[in-house]
Each structure stands twice: as C-alpha cells, then as structure tokens.
Amino acid sequence: MQPIRLVAVVASLTLVVVVLDLVRRRRIKEELWFVWLVGAIAPLVFSVWLAPWAFLARALGMQYEPTLLLILGIFFAIALLLHFTTVLSSLMQQNQRLAQEVARLTWRLEQVERGTARP
C-alpha cells in the first residue's frame, strides 16, 4: 500500500471513530448522526476501494483521477452546508417565536401585578 493511501485510511478510520464516539456520548443530535457517519465512512471507502473511482474518472475524461473525489467532496460539503442552513433557519424561527411569546407573557404578568389586567 502506498504511504499516502495508508495515511488516508488511518485518517478516515480516525474520523469514523471520533464520529462514533460523539454519537455514543450524545454530542451529535439524532437528526444529524447519519449525515456525519456517512461523511466519515465515505473517505474510508474511497481510500480503500480506488478502482471504480479511477475508472469513472477516466470515463468522464479526467486525466487526474483524484479530481473526481475532490469534486464529489465539494458537492458533499455544499449539501451538508445546505442541510445545516435549513436546520439553523428553523431554529432561528423557533427562537423568534419563543422570544415573542416570552415578551407577551412578561407584559401580561406585569399587567396582572399592577391590577390593570382585563378578565
């Protein structure tokens, strides 16, 4: 095995172990563990099983086969960013609704304490 390939396998295995440990300790939420596990296992598969990717890269006319993996990695990163953006947007909307509800309840409580509340 080539040294660079060995480094890729070890790095990929380390990433898989770290992700599994974070999932085990519940540091990664249930909604996101699968995406991270796929993202950790994919480089391991790519570094161990090169022949199909090299063949596909040559079939697409790429002279340097790792370019295909780079392109796939960039698309995966963009998809991951899009997913996290939708999750973050949802959380921001929930936070805004909760803040508005707290403000309304605080105002209502102040009205009740002053005795000016309407029934």
Burial environment of residue 47 by CB neighbours within 10 A (0 to 12, 13 to 18, 19 or more): buried
Determine if the pTM surpasses 0.85: no
Place of tokens 């060995």: 6
CA atoms of 3 and 6, how far apart (whole Å)? 5
DSSP 63: S
Q: What mean pLDDT value characterizes the chain?
A: 88
Query: From the CB of residue 19, how many other CB atoms can be counted at a distance below 10 Å?
Result: 20
Neighbouring CB atoms inside 10 A of 36's CB total 19
**What band does 92 get if pLDDT is binned at 50, 70 and 90?**
very high
Handedness of CA 47, 51, 57, 63 (dihedral sign): positive
Tokens of 55: 């063949």
Q: What is the pLDDT of residues 4-50, one digit of tens each?
A: 788 888 998 999 999 899 989 989 887 788 888 888 888 888 888 88
The rounded distance, in Å, linking the Cα atoms of 50 and 61 is 17
